[in-house]
Amino acid sequence: MVQDPAMGLRGKVVLVTGASRGIGAAIAVAFARQGATVAINHLSNDAAAAQTVAACEAAGGDAWAVKADVGSQPAVQAMVDGIAREAGAIDIVVNNAFRPYAFDPERRSPFDALEWSDYQAQFDGAVGAAFNVCRAVLPQMRQRARGSIVNIVSNLVEHPVVPYHDYTTAKSALVAFSRNLASELGPVGIRVNCVAPGLVYPTQGTQGTKESFRESLIAATPLRRLARPEDVAGPVLFLASELSGFMTGQVLLVDGGLVMR
């Protein structure tokens, strides 16, 4: 992806949560390639975060790692305040972090084996984390009457090809959370959108997915392959950039045409 001045991302301050590896890392590097300054949030893997920072710098952007549990409101507030001191007010947020989950049809828990606490844990990981980050960042965005928030959801909300009950229910709630924010914040110049990938391979969550299942999913996908982390980054940049300046409350499906809306 070459640098595109029309995106208007050069010099923007971007926070990407859960960005030490996988989809988050690919998103961070894509922003860096457009000349953005990227804060790479991570929970525990210092070495992976350092590799993402190095990749961002090699791509031509400024980047540094910020270690914080996005499930903790005080930790998120301290992280956001630190970013503002380091680089200035945050222009763009990508809520990518989520509670660990294994995307393996053979290991999934059927409904009868789940407890409400399983749903609650996923809700806290998806909606709770986005809530904490948005609460901390929005005062900066409101003050300047601009900003873009992109939340990572899932095409499983539209097409639960595998019934991952707790995970998908939480991501569905994140869509509703995003649309309510978009409705409230639009008049003050802040946009909120979602990107909904299909199965992304390889990532930590999908590394245990059986090859036979991946092949069946590929056969059902018009573009005849699975998404790579880099495939998710482009739509995120589009929704964060000036190119989508009149879009809010939308969900972009990034799954090779498996779900068409």
Q: Determine contact, residues 151/192, Cβ cutoff 8 Å.
A: yes
167 is catalytic: yes
Q: ω into residue 235 within 30 of 0, thus cis?
A: no
Q: Which residues contact 199 (CB under 8 A, 6 or more apart)?
A: 103, 206, 209, 214, 217, 226, 227, 255
Q: What are the C-alpha distances in Å from 188 to residues 77, 89, 139, 191, 248?
A: 22, 16, 11, 9, 12
Q: What are the C-alpha distances in Å from 59 to residues 35, 48, 72, 102, 143?
A: 8, 17, 31, 31, 31
Q: Provide the H-helix boundaries in 19-160.
A: 22-33, 46-58, 73-87, 116-123, 129-144
Of 101, 119, 164, 167, which residue is the catalytic one? 167
Indicate if the alpha-carbon torsion angle 116, 122, 127, 130 is positive or negative.
positive
Q: Determine contact, residues 150/193, Cβ cutoff 8 Å.
A: yes
- Please list the active-site residues: 167
